[in-house]
C-alpha cells in the first residue's frame, strides 16, 4: 500500500494502530499514527512530534502505539551534601514538574542543609516483592502448602534463580484467609527496580509449588499482598523496594537565617499537621509532601511513576535538640532502579548520568541503592523547606509569587 492508502485505512479503522510497526517500521509508524490521529481529532501535534527520543529503542519495550513524546519542564535543585553508604558527596537534583514553587522550595531546603552540614542516610532493607494467591481445597491443604514452603525454600530459590542472572529469592512469608494462601515472595533485584524480574521468577516458583502440592490451585500470580502501586499498611510495616531513613540537624541560627522560621513552631507543625492530622484522616503517610519530590525525580530519572504511591507513605520526624533542629524522613517502600524500564530513555538517562549512577553499579545493586539514598535525602530537603514555610505562614505567599 502507498502511504496515502495506509493513512486512509488508519482513519477508517480498517487498519489498527498497533499493526503499523510491523508494516512500515517503528519510526514511520509513529509519524503515520500521529497524522491519522490528527485527521481524526483536528489537532496538529506540532509539539508532540518534536522529540530527540529514539522510538526504535522504546517501542515494544516501554510503549505501544507511540505517537511522539510529552515534555515536562525540568529544574535543578542543590547541590545537596549527602553522606550515605552508597551516595557520598554533593548532588544536583533533577526535578521534572509543572508545579510552581516546588523546585525553589527543595532548593531552599538544600541550602539550609548545606549550611548546617549534610544529610546522613541509610538503607535498612532492599527487597522487591510479588505475592501469588492460591486457593486450596481445604484448610488441611492450606496447612500442607505452608509446611511444604517451610521445607523447600532452597528449591524455590533455585527455581527462581533459573529465570534470572541478577535476582535472588530472599524470603517467603505465607498469609492465610480461610482456605486461601498468599506467598509473599521477597527478592534482591540488584540495580533493577525488578517488577518484571520478580514476576517471571515468581511464575517459576508457582510451577514448582503446583507440581508438588495436590488440592492447590493458582488463582493469580499477583494477589495484592505484594502490594504493588496501591497504598497498603503491609508495605509500611514490612517494606518493599528500599526502606530508607535520612536525617540532618540544622542549628537554630540556620533555621532562622535560611528558613525564616522558629524551630519550635516547626516541631509543632510537624506534630499537629503531619502526625495528628494524618492520623485523624486515616492516612498511611505522615509527611508534608514527600510524593512531590519523589514524583519529580521519578519522572526525571525514568522510574515507574505509579510507585510514588508507596513512596508517599513516608514518615517525617522533627525534634528540638541541644544541637538544633533534628529532622528525618523514613521511607518504608521506595522502589527504584538504574537499569531497565524508563532508565533507557535518552533524556532520563542524562539525568541519571548527572547523578553519576546510570546503568549497573559495581558491585551490582550499588547504583540503585545510591539513587534511593539521594531521593530520600531530597525528600528531607523538601520536607524541611515546606514545614518551615508553614511554620512561618509563608506558604500562600510563595505560591502567589512562584506557583500561580
Kindly tell me the sign of the dihedral angle through the C-alpha atoms of 354, 82, 294, 171: positive
Q: Can you name the residues that pair with 177 across neighbouring β-strands?
A: 180
| Residues contacting residue 117 through CB under 8 Å, at least 6 positions apart | 81, 248, 249
Active site residue 399: yes
393: alpha, beta or left, given left = phi > 0 and alpha = psi -120 to 50? left
- Do the strands 119-130 and 241-250 form a parallel or antiparallel pair, or are they unpaired? antiparallel
What grid cell was written down for 330? 523514613
| Residues contacting residue 260 through CB under 8 Å, at least 6 positions apart | 388, 392, 394
Alpha helical stretches, state H, 99-215: 102-116, 139-151, 153-161, 195-212
| Residues contacting residue 123 through CB under 8 Å, at least 6 positions apart | 84, 85, 86, 242, 243, 244, 369, 372, 373
Which of 28, 122, 350, 399 is labelled catalytic? Answer: 399
Active site residue 99: yes
Kindly tell me the sign of the dihedral angle through the C-alpha atoms of 244, 305, 105, 266: negative
Which of 262, 304, 319, 350 is labelled catalytic? Answer: 304
Is the bond into 363 cis (omega within 30 degrees of 0)?
Answer: yes
**230 three-state secondary structure:** coil
- Kind and range of the H or E element at 28? helix 26-41
Which of 83, 99, 173, 188 is labelled catalytic? Answer: 99
- Do the strands 241-250 and 324-334 form a parallel or antiparallel pair, or are they unpaired? antiparallel
Catalytic residues: 99, 304, 399
Amino acid at each position: 500500500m502507498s502511504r496515502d492508502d495506509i493513512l486512509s485505512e488508519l482513519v477508517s479503522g480498517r487498519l489498527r494502530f498497533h499493526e503499523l510497526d510491523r508494516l512500515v517500521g517503528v519510526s514511520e509508524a509513529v509519524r503515520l499514527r500521529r497524522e491519522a490521529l490528527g485527521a481524526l481529532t483536528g489537532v496538529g501535534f506540532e509539539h508532540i512530534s518534536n522529540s530527540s527520543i529514539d522510538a526504535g529503542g522504546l517501542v515494544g519495550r516501554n510503549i505501544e502505539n507511540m505517537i511522539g513524546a510529552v515534555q515536562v519542564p525540568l529544574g535543578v535543585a542543590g547541590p545537596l551534601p549527602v553522606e550515605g553508604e552508597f551516595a557520598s558527596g554533593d548532588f544536583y537534583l533533577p526535578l521534572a514538574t509543572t508545579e510552581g514553587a516546588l523546585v525553589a522550595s527543595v532548593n531552599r531546603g538544600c541550602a539550609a542543609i548545606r549550611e548546617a552540614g549534610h544529610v546522613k542516610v541509610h538503607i535498612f532493607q532492599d527487597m522487591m516483592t510479588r505475592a501469588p494467591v492460591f486457593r486450596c481445597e481445604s484448610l488441611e491443604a492450606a496447612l500442607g502448602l505452608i509446611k511444604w514452603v517451610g521445607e523447600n525454600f532452597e528449591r524455590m530459590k533455585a527455581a527462581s534463580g533459573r529465570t534470572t542472572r541478577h535476582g535472588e529469592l530472599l524470603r517467603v512469608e505465607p498469609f492465610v484467609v480461610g482456605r486461601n494462601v498468599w506467598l509473599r515472595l521477597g527478592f534482591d533485584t540488584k540495580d533493577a527496580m525488578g517488577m518484571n524480574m520478580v514476576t517471571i521468577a515468581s511464575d517459576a516458583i508457582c510451577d514448582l509449588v503446583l507440581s508438588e502440592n495436590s488440592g492447590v490451585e493458582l488463582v493469580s500470580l499477583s494477589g495484592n499482598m505484594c502490594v504493588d502501586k496501591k497504598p497498603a499498611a503491609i508495605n509500611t510495616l514490612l517494606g518493599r523496594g528500599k526502606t530508607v531513613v535520612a536525617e540532618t540537624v540544622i542549628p537554630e541560627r540556620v533555621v532562622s537565617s535560611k528558613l525564616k522560621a522558629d524551630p519550635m513552631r516547626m516541631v509543632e507543625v510537624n506534630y499537629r499537621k503531619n502526625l495528628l492530622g494524618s492520623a485523624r484522616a486515616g492516612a498511611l503517610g505522615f509527611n508534608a509532601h514527600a510524593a512531590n519530590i519523589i514524583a519529580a525525580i521519578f519522572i526525571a530519572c525514568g522510574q515507574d511513576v505509579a510507585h510514588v504511591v508507596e513512596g508517599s507513605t513516608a514518615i517525617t520526624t522533627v525534634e528540638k535538640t541541644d544541637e538544633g533542629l533534628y529532622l528525618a524522613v523514613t521511607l518504608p517502600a521506595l522502589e527504584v532502579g538504574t537499569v531497565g524500564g524508563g532508565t533507557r530513555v535518552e533524556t532520563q538517562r542524562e539525568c541519571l548520568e548527572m547523578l553519576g549512577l546510570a546503568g549497573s553499579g559495581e558491585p551490582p545493586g550499588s547504583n540503585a541503592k545510591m539513587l534511593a539514598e539521594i531521593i530520600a535525602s531530597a525528600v528531607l530537603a523538601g520536607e524541611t523547606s515546606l514545614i518551615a514555610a508553614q511554620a512561618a505562614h509563608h506558604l500562600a505567599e510563595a505560591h502567589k509569587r512562584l506557583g500561580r
